Chain A
Amino acid sequence: KAGVTQTPRYLIKTRGQQVTLSCSPISGHRSVSWYQQTPGQGLQFLFEYFSETQRNKGNFPGRFSGRQFSNSRSEMNVSTLELGDSALYLCASSRGFDTQYFGPGTRLTVL
């Protein structure tokens, strides 16, 4: 089985712009979760989608949003980028009630 894929792998944006990250889960997995990883804050949960519905949400501002499509692929959007949004964004997929499998991440740099 193919693993979780994330595109793009690297991204450079400037403050105030918006960005969209994409995640394709493992075939058959209906849950996709997003995490932000930074040296200072570690791994922080953003949100989880299951069957196109947001099922769980972390403590991030409304500038961070996501969605999931009928094929379980998910996108994450960050609007009005700030310098502090520079991070590795990780996507994880699961069947919805157990082990999460992670993609390689998207490295976002905000200048």
Chain B
Amino acid sequence: AQSVTQPDIHITVSEGASLELRCNYSYGATPYLFWYVQSPGQGLQLLLKYFSGDTLVQGIKGFEAEFKRSQSSFNLRKPSVHWSDAAEYFCAVGGDTGGFKTIFGAGTRLFVKA
């Protein structure tokens, strides 16, 4: 069965510190992997995606993610967090299964302290 696990419900980091959000997935075929960010009351904004090729992908706002097939992981990282990064982050897996369907993780709420 297709699934996405984000083991951390919430994380608190200090402004300027590094960040890593974990994501593990289960998918029968070659997955398309995504990270989205959601500010309160807003829709989801795409941060980055992985389809194939280089396993380290760069996204917007200084985020990057690394695809590790052996670990079924797609962790999101940022070297220095800004207060404006406080939001909820969703990892997602999708694919063309006769119709493109995306499965989302439960999300990780990021708090940034001054």
Contacts and interface: CB of A to CB of B under 8 A. Distances in A.
Nearest to B32: A98
A50 B102 contact: no
Interface residues of B, number: 25
The main secondary structure of chain B at its interface with chain A is strand
Nearest to A91: B43
A107 interface: yes
Task: Assign chain A's interface to a size class.
Answer: 20 to 34
The main secondary structure of chain A at its interface with chain B is strand
B95 to A, nearest CB: 9
Given A98-B32, A99-B34, A105-B43, A31 B100 contact: yes
Contacts, number: 62
B100 A100 contact: yes
B46 A99 contact: yes
B44 A102 contact: yes
B74 interface: no
B99 to A, nearest CB: 3
Given A42-B107, A43-B90, A102-B36, A97 B100 contact: yes
A56 interface: yes
Given A55-B98, A55-B99, A102-B36, A42 B43 contact: no
A79 B36 CA distance: 30
Interface in A47-86: 48, 50, 55-56
Interface of B: 32, 34, 36, 41-46, 49, 51, 90, 94, 96-107
